Amino acid sequence: MKSPEATQTESTFGFDEFFFSTTDKRGVIRYGNDVFARVSVYPKESMLGAPHSLIRHPDMPRAVFKEFWNFLTQGKPVGAYVKNLAGNGSYYWVFAFVFPIADGYLSIRFKPSSEMFARVQGIYKEVLELEQQGHSLEESHSYLLKRVKDAGFTDYENFMLKAVLEELKARASQVQDSVISSEVKEATTIANVTKSATRKLSEVFEKLRGFQNANESLEDNINKLELGFQQLKFISINMKIAAAKFGEMASSLGVVSHEFSILSGTIEKHLSGLGGFIQTLSEVTQKCVMRAAALNVQMLMVDFFVRESIAKMESSKYAFEEMLQNQKDFSDLFTQYCQNLEGEFLELNKNIFVIDAEIVEVAKFVTGLEVVRQIGAIESTRTSEIKESFSHYLIAMDDFIQLLRGSTSEITRGVETLVENSDFILSSIREISGCVNEIFSHASSLESRKADQAEAKGIHTSTFAAVS
């Protein structure tokens, strides 16, 4: 099929509309919903069996699609801003979220409108100019990733996460009222299921933000403690040297310094695992935020598609069949994401409990440090000269103990927050895991009722005719 000449006309669609398509592993279109066909200005029958590149716009840099496939070939979902070419040459921008499924890919698109959208268009223009100047795909791809980092993101995945969250937020402000007013009467139950699930997912996002805040607090306290341990090592060495100068008279203070050093070293070992935990927590949190965003997009797409199908059941005998045709892809995908999210949090909980146990142990050793410091304070009063020489060491020890108490208390509170938020997220995910199946079940019930009514009406009509 020959690509049309691109024009400056936009193929419009609403913020309340979602569209999707499924393809095989090669990118050949297997299905597209009505909005996809309408906005793309292609009859459904001509799109089926065609490559998805059918709608690729010449303004799109090849580097974006290279990054797209980098994710997909690793079995990872990917999101990106994409300018598409309609069958009549018009264009339309979408935020596309693509998911690997059992035998291909499922792409969900909706209208972008956040501030990030405008910034991305500028970056795309720069990358496209490079490609048009004859630079290789590798060069333009490297430049794309560089511009993403220049914009303040650690990598494309970090950018993608921020983008989907910003677009969902922008979309919610645009369709808040229209979604309610556009609901068909038969879809009220389905809409309620969706609202309940998306509301629960919003609460999950809040708890995940709590995870990020707790993680930042943990990192801050660990950094403070690391600095404190470094300073303490110098204090211990200098205290031993000072004790040796006084000979037998201050030998007990040398012992105090030695014991303090051993105890603080033991504490340092107990806390050493926190650094790795913080890194793990950061990675898992980002992954879980992405999964929660994906679940939100999937939920909204299912809601729209099912209500779209219900609305046309009276006019199309294929509406119900098409809905069932796509049910498995959506149900399997949603279930998989819920299960993965649950599994990640269960694993994370194990790490949280390990850290909690370590902090309990640390608290015991802190008490030991306090006892050793007090012994040192008593021993230093033997002579005024010794007291004067060792007072600042004892003050430094006390400062370290207070730092240790304060930081471990903060860490304990952070761990408690993590446990509380994790429990909420786990229960929420389990609660919504069956929502997609529930939506399709309600739609199937509606179709069954209509079939029963039609059959009853047919029986009534034939009976009336026989009596007549």
Burial of 315 (0-12, 13-18, 19+ CB in 10 A): exposed
Query: Per-residue confidence of the chain (468 residues) as pLDDT tens digits?
Result: 677 999 999 999 999 999 999 999 999 999 999 999 999 999 988 899 999 999 999 999 999 999 999 999 999 999 999 999 999 999 999 999 999 999 999 999 999 999 999 999 999 999 999 999 999 999 999 999 999 999 999 999 999 999 999 999 999 888 864 343 344 555 678 888 888 998 899 899 888 888 888 888 888 888 888 888 888 888 888 888 888 888 888 788 888 888 888 888 888 888 877 778 888 888 888 888 899 999 999 999 999 998 888 888 777 778 888 898 899 999 999 999 999 999 988 888 888 888 888 888 888 888 888 888 899 889 888 888 888 888 888 898 899 889 888 888 888 888 888 888 888 999 999 999 999 999 888 888 776 666 555 555 554 443 334 333
Nearest to 348 by CA among 409, 271, 276: 276
- Largest CA-CA distance found in the chain, in angstroms, rounded: 126
What is the b/e burial string over 21-38, where b = at least 16 CB atoms within 10 angstroms of the residue's CB? bbbeeebbbbbbbbbbbb
Residue 180 has a pLDDT of 37
401 in Cβ contact with 366 (< 8 Å): yes
Between CA 54 and CA 223 the distance in angstroms is 53
Q: How far is CA 87 from CA 10, 94, 107, in A?
A: 12, 16, 19
Return the sign of the alpha-carbon dihedral for residues 288, 324, 108, 168: negative
Give me Rg for the CA atoms of the chain. Answer: 31
- State the SS3 of the chain: CCCCCCCCCECCCCCCCCEEEEEECCCEEEEECHHHHHHHCCCHHHHCCCEHHHHECCCCCHHHHHHHHHHHCCCCCEEEEEEEECCCCCEEEEEEEEEEECCEEEEEEECCCCHHHHHHHHHHHHHHHHHHCCCCHHHHHHHHHHHHHHCCCCCHHHHHHHHHHHHHHHHHHHHCCHHHHCCCHHHHHHHHHHHHHHHHHHHHHHHHHHHHHHHHHHHHHHHHHHHHHHHHHHHHHHHHHHHHHHHHHHHHHHHHHHHHHHHHHHHHHHHCHHHHHHHHHHHHHHHHHHHHHHHHHHHHHHHHHHHHHHHCCCCCCCHHHHHHHHHHHHHHHHHHHHHHHHHHHHHHHHHHHHHHHHHHHHHHHHHHHHHHHHHHHHHCCCCHHHHHHHHHHHHHHHHHHHHHHHHHHHHHHHHHHHHHHHHHHHHHHHHHCCHHHHHHHHHHHHHHHHHHHHHHHHHHHHHHHHHC
Which residues pair with residue 85 across a beta bridge?
A: 91
Between CA 466 and CA 255 the distance in angstroms is 111
